[in-house]
């Protein structure tokens, strides 16, 4: 199995690159943000709960997010591997993911981290908000809150994978195809 964490702050390009990577490597894309948004659209209890955090730019609580991810993983027993996009976002989630994969006899191969400066993130998110209508991308205060939450709660997750020698930083500004080539080159070294 090939299990990748595609990491990076909001607006780094994780969704765009995930779409390309799943096609090339035949992986299942697990984006916790997408799953929450589908639940919000479907007006499920999980969606209503998640929305109350997402609208403010906060993280959804770990126990809710981890339980959801575990249930998604168990829906895909035949998978070649997974791209985790937007998960793990806290150290507790990273530990839970290791345990979950371990219980299935597998593990994370690599964390690929898209590195993009804050100014560029703010511009990209505002632009995406105009196109997609995503509420959390349309308000500069919420965008800043999400970047701050990333710096404080999510960024330390890098360390979790660095100590396992699985962390690789990739420059995330510039041509989408070139960034995709850099990501693919790192993946190809491990398979
Ligand atoms: P994203 O689409 O990855 O930018 O996620 C949008 C929002 O969903 C985030 O700002 C969080 O409120 C919530 N979210 C997504 N993934 C997670 C996660 N792993 N842990 C907690 N909250 C999450």
- The answer to whether residue 190 sits within a structural domain is no
Ordered per-residue pLDDT tens for the chain, 191 residues: 999 999 999 999 999 999 999 999 999 999 999 999 999 999 999 999 999 999 999 999 999 999 999 999 999 999 999 999 999 999 999 999 999 999 999 999 999 999 999 999 999 999 999 999 888 999 999 999 999 999 999 999 999 999 999 999 999 999 999 999 999 999 999 99
Catalytic residue among 20, 37, 122, 134: 134
Domain assignment present for 135: yes
Residue nearest to atom 5 of ligand 1 (CA): 33
Give dist(CA 85, CA 183) in Å, integer. Answer: 14
68 lies in a domain?
A: yes
The CATH number that applies at residue 173 is 3.40.50.300
37 annotated active-site: no
Residue 156 C-alpha to ligand 1 middle, in angstroms?
A: 16
Range of the structural domain that residue 61 is part of = 2-184
DSSP state of 173: S
Model pTM score = 0.97
Please indicate, yes or no, if residue 96 is contained in any of the structural domains.
yes
């Amino acid at each position: 199995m090939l299990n990748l964490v595609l990491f990076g702050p909001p607006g780094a390009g994780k969704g765009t690159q995930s779409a390309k990577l799943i096609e090339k490597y035949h992986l299942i894309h697990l984006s916790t943000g997408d799953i929450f948004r589908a639940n919000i659209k479907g007006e499920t209890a999980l969606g209503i709960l998640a929305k109350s955090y997402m609208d403010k730019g906060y993280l959804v609580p770990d126990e809710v997010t981890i339980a959801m991810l575990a249930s998604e993983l168990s829906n895909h027993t035949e998978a070649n591997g997974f791209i985790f996009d937007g998960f793990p976002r806290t150290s507790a989630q990273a530990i839970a993911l290791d345990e979950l994969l371990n219980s299935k006899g597998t593990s994370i191969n690599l964390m690929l981290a898209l590195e993009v400066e804050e100014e560029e993130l703010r511009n990209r998110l505002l632009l995406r908000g105009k196109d997609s209508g995503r509420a959390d991308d349309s308000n500069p205060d919420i965008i800043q809150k999400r970047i701050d939450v990333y710096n404080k709660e999510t960024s330390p997750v890098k360390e979790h994978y660095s100590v396992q020698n699985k962390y690789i930083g990739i420059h995330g500004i510039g041509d989408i195809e070139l960034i995709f080539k850099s990501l693919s080159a790192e993946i190809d070294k491990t398979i």
